[in-house]
């Protein structure tokens, strides 16, 4: 039985070992671009010895991002960042994978921890002061940028 540290070949791609890093969204992208943060974060993992590294899911359309802070591959301005990251991963001896994605209706307009806080605020207000006040809270929170109600998923402030 092959061990974890033996190479693995599929067609013309050879991994130096069988250790793969799964894609993990970092919520650090601006306009879907990957930058120095991704270069450092993924480059360090490649230098650390992974055989295969999947950068975070890259959305095929802006509205398909999990949040506006997620990476994409739908605009030419994003090419440079992906090329730098891929080149760094390869330079450190690992293979770069890619996860193309579209989050569909599960997409959110805020980072998960912001959505969580909005939901908690809404629940507290609803308990304390009834629904009209809760609607005000949602509207106030929405004024800081487009968001989505974490309870009903609506983007409208009714």
Ligand X SMILES: Cc1cc2nc3c(=O)[nH]c(=O)nc-3n(C[C@H](O)[C@H](O)[C@H](O)COP(=O)(O)O)c2cc1C
Residues lying near ligand X in the complex (CB under 6 A) are found at 22-25, 56-57, 99
Length of the chain: 158
Q: Which is nearer to ligand X, 29 or 125 (CB)?
A: 29
CB of 147 to ligand X, least distance (A): 20
Q: Which is nearer to ligand X, 58 or 122 (CB)?
A: 58
**Which three-class secondary structure state does DSSP give residue 115?**
helix
Q: Which is nearer to ligand X, 56 or 147 (CB)?
A: 56
CB of 99 to ligand X, least distance (A): 6
Distance CA 81, CA 66 (A): 19
Total Cβ atoms within 10 A of residue 26: 16
Which residues, at least 6 apart from 63, have a Cβ–Cβ distance to it below 8 Å? 107
CB of 44 to ligand X, least distance (A): 16
């Amino acid at each position: 039985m092959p061990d974890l540290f033996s190479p693995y070949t599929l067609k013309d791609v050879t991994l130096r070992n069988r250790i793969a890093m799964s894609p993990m969204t970092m919520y650090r992208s601006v306009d879907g671009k990957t930058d120095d943060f991704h270069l450092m974060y993924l480059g360090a993992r490649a230098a650390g010895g992974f055989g295969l590294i999947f950068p975070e899911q890259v959305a095929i359309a802006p509205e398909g991002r999990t949040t506006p802070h997620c990476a994409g591959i739908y605009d030419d301005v994003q090419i440079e960042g992906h090329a730098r990251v891929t080149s760094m991963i390869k330079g450190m001896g690992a293979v770069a994978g890619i996860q193309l994605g579209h989050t569909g209706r599960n997409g959110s307009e805020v980072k998960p921890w912001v959505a969580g806080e909005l939901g908690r605020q809404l629940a507290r207000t609803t308990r304390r002061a009834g629904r009209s006040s809760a609607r005000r809270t949602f509207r106030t929170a929405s004024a800081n940028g487009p968001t989505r109600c974490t309870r009903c998923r609506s983007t409208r402030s009714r």
